[in-house]
Chain A
Amino acid sequence: MEEALVIAQVRSGNTDAFTGIVEHYQSPIQRYLYRLTGDYELAKDLTQDTFIHAYKSILKTDSELSLKAWLYRIATNNAYQYYRRKRLISFIPFSRLKREIEIPTRDNTADTAETAAIQEILVKIPEELRICLVLHLVEGFKYREIAATIGISEDAVRMRVARGKEAFQKSYQGGEVR
Chain B
Amino acid sequence: MKCRDLKELLSAYADGELSRTQREFVEEHLAGCVDCRATLDSYRMVNQKITSLNETAAFPDLKYAIMSTIKTENNKKQFQKWLRPVLATIAILAFIAVVLTVPVESPETSSSVGAPPPLTWEKLNLVISLSLLAAFLIMLGRLLVNKIFKMFIAGIVPVLLGLIGIGIGIRESLIGHPEVLIVMGIISAYGVILGAIYIIRRNVNRWLSITGLLLCLLVLVLEAIMFVGYPIPQLWLTMVTVVTPVSLVTYAFHRELNQSPRLWLRYGLVIVVLMAIIAGLLADQYRGMEIPEIISAPMSPPPLGYVIITDIGWAALLAGTLIMIGLAFRNRFALALADVYSMLLGIIGWYFGLYALTTLKSDMFLGMGILPIFGLIMGIVAIKKRADRRWSALTGVVLCISALVLDIIFLFSYPAKHIWIITLTILIPIGVGAYALRHEIGLSWWNWRRNILLWRIALPVTMVLTALGTLWGTGVIPGLISTEEVSTRNITFIQGTSSLASWATNYEDMEELCNLADLIVVGTVDRIIEVVPTEWGHGMIYDARSAFRVETVLKGKADREIVLTHMALASPDGWIEGMVEDPPPQAGEKWVFFLSITESGEYNNFGPWGRYKITDDKVYSMNRVLGSNNSYYEEKLDFNGVNLSTFIGIVKETLDSIILTLTDNFGLPDRALRFDAGGSQTVNIKLSTGKYGPDNLIYTFKRVEGKDTAIEMPMPAELNVTIEPVQFTVYPRNEYRSILKIQTTADLPSGTYWIYVEYHLGELTSGHRTLMVNIN
User: Chain B's nearest CB lies how many Å from the CB of A38?
Assistant: 10
Tell me the bound Cα distance from A167 to B159 in angstroms.
Answer: 48
B61 touches A26 (CB 8 A): yes
Mask of B433-451 contacts with A, CB within 8 angstroms, 1/0: 0000000011000000010
Tell me the bound Cα distance from A51 to B65 in angstroms.
Answer: 10
Tell me the bound Cα distance from A124 to B441 in angstroms.
Answer: 37
CB-CB contacts below 8 Å: A86-120 with B: 88-89, 91-92, 97, 110-111, 114-115, 118-119
Q: Which of B7, B43, B59 has the most CB of A within 10 A?
A: B59
**A138 contacts across to B, CB distance below 8 A:** 50-51, 53-54
Tell me the bound Cα distance from A141 to B216 in angstroms.
Answer: 52
B11 touches A161 (CB 8 A): yes
**B711 within 8 A of partner (CB):** no
- CB within 8 Å for A158 and B56 given contacts A15-B71, A64-B450, A137-B51: no
A172 touches B46 (CB 8 A): yes
Tell me if B's interface is mostly helix, strand, loop or mixed: helix
CB-CB contacts below 8 Å: A38-83 with B: 44, 47-48, 51-52, 55-56, 60-62, 64
User: Chain B's nearest CB lies how many Å from the CB of A74?
Assistant: 13
**A166 contacts across to B, CB distance below 8 A:** 7
B46 touches A89 (CB 8 A): no
CB-CB contacts below 8 Å: B39-80 with A: 42-43, 45-47, 49-63, 65-67, 69-71, 73-74
User: Chain B's nearest CB lies how many Å from the CB of A129?
Assistant: 12
Nearest chain-A residue to B384 (Cβ)?
A62
- CB within 8 Å for A15 and B51 given contacts A60-B442, A161-B11, A165-B11: no
**B535 within 8 A of partner (CB):** no
**A149 within 8 A of partner (CB):** no
A61 touches B441 (CB 8 A): yes
**B66 contacts across to A, CB distance below 8 A:** 22, 26, 48, 51-52
**A131 within 8 A of partner (CB):** no
**B17 within 8 A of partner (CB):** yes
The contact of A15 among B10, B57, B74, by CB within 8 Å, is: B74
The contact of B47 among A15, A89, A165, by CB within 8 Å, is: A165
CB-CB contacts below 8 Å: B693-739 with A: none
- CB within 8 Å for A51 and B51 given contacts A161-B11, A168-B46: no
A31 touches B56 (CB 8 A): yes
The contact of A158 among B11, B57, B450, by CB within 8 Å, is: B11
**B204 within 8 A of partner (CB):** yes
Nearest chain-B residue to A28 (Cβ)?
B59
Tell me if A's interface is mostly helix, strand, loop or mixed: helix
User: Chain B's nearest CB lies how many Å from the CB of A57?
Assistant: 8
**B45 contacts across to A, CB distance below 8 A:** 169
B17 touches A165 (CB 8 A): no
B8 touches A158 (CB 8 A): yes
B residues with a Cβ closer than 8 A to A are: 7-8, 10-12, 15, 17, 42-43, 45-47, 49-63, 65-67, 69-71, 73-74, 203-204, 384-385, 441-442, 450
Give 21 CB contacts A-B under 8 Å: A26-B63, A26-B66, A34-B56, A44-B62, A51-B62, A56-B73, A60-B442, A62-B384, A64-B450, A85-B203, A92-B204, A118-B50, A134-B50, A143-B17, A158-B11, A158-B17, A162-B8, A165-B47, A168-B46, A168-B49, A169-B43
A residues with a Cβ closer than 8 A to B are: 15-16, 18-19, 22-23, 26-27, 30-31, 34-35, 44, 47-48, 51-52, 55-56, 60-62, 64, 85, 88-89, 91-92, 97, 110-111, 114-115, 118-119, 122, 133-134, 136-138, 140, 142-143, 158-159, 161-162, 165-166, 168-169, 172
The 6 A-B residue pairs with the shortest CB-CB distance in the complex, in nearest-first order: A110-B57, A162-B11, A30-B59, A137-B50, A162-B8, A165-B46
Since A34-B59, A118-B52, A168-B46 are in contact, a sample of 17 more A-B pairs with Cβ atoms closer than 8 Å, ordered by chain A residue number, is A15-B71, A22-B63, A23-B63, A26-B62, A26-B63, A34-B56, A44-B62, A51-B70, A56-B73, A110-B56, A111-B57, A118-B49, A122-B50, A122-B53, A137-B50, A161-B12, A168-B50
